Each structure stands twice: as C-alpha cells, then as structure tokens.
C-alpha cells in the first residue's frame, strides 16, 4: 500500500511490519492469528508524528515488541481510509496509536494513545495495560 511505501521512503525499513491491506483486512488477519491489532494513524503535517516515528515507532525495542505481539496496520490521515479511521477510532490528535481487538467483523478499541512520547513510555504503556 501507499502508506507503507511512503513510510519506508521517509523513515527507512526499521519499522513494524505494517499490513499492506485495509483496516478491515488487517483486523481479520489479527482474528485469524489470535492477536490484537496495533493501529497507527500518521499525520505527516504534524511535527510530533515525524519525531514519534524517528525516535519511538522505529526504535528497535518498539519494532520487536509490536512485531512479536500484534498484527500492525497504519495509514496516513490524508488518505480516505486513514481519515475515516481517525473518525471511527476518535483519534484526539496525532500521532495516534491504538490496540484493537475483534471477535467479529466489528472492531473494539482496547487502548489508545495520542501525542508524542518516548519509546520507553510506549513500551510501558503496553506492558502496564
């Protein structure tokens, strides 16, 4: 998908293994794999999103943790699907991360975090929840 290609061009390949599919398809894969889904909504117009990607999302610890424990999906909020998901997930700001679980075609938001924070705080957020 365009998001993954653009993300790689901007930040390199050291990133979570984002699904190259729609949100719904990624949720279905998470259900099939008995995992939760890590969703990331990116705003390239937000300096905090750029810093978050460089310092946190692409850090080795976060990449390893997300890849080992989640099916991951991402989108830029300038895309139609990214914009729609920002509304559906009620993203209060960017960067926006959520952990999504599903037992049916409808998704359930489990955890969410918006704004910039350090890699350690991100891992603490997931481990403590």
Summarised one tens digit per residue, pLDDT across range 29-64 is 998 999 999 999 999 898 889 999 998 999 999 999
With b meaning 16 or more CB within 10 Å and e meaning fewer, what string describes 48-84? ebbebbeebbbbeebbebbeeebbbbbbbbebebbee
Report the distance separating Cα 55 and Cα 118, nearest Å: 7
CATH 3.90.1010.10 fits 2-128, yes or no: no
Q: Say what the pLDDT of residue 120 is.
A: 47
Q: Say what the pLDDT of residue 114 is.
A: 78
Summarised one tens digit per residue, pLDDT across range 95-118 is 999 998 877 656 576 777 777 654
- What does the mean pLDDT of the chain come to? 87
Domain ranges, ordered by start, for the chain: 2-128
pTM of the model: 0.85
User: pLDDT band at 123, cuts 50/70/90?
Assistant: low
Query: Given its phi and psi angles, is residue 12 left (phi above 0), alpha (psi -120 to 50 degrees) or beta?
Result: left
Is residue 71 predicted with pLDDT exceeding 70?
yes
């Amino acid at each position: 998908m365009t998001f993954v290609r653009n993300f790689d061009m901007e930040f390199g390949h050291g990133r979570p293994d984002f699904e190259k599919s729609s949100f719904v398809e990624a949720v279905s894969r998470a259900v099939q794999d008995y995992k939760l889904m890590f969703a990331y909504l990116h705003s390239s117009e937000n300096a905090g999103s750029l810093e978050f990607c460089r310092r946190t999302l692409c850090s080795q610890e976060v990449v390893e943790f997300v890849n080992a424990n989640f099916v991951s999906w991402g989108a830029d909020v300038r895309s139609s699907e990214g914009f729609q998901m920002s509304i559906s997930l009620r993203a209060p700001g960017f960067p926006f991360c959520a952990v999504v679980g599903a037992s049916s075609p409808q998704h359930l938001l489990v955890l969410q975090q918006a704004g910039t924070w350090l890699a350690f705080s991100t891992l603490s957020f997931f481990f403590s929840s």
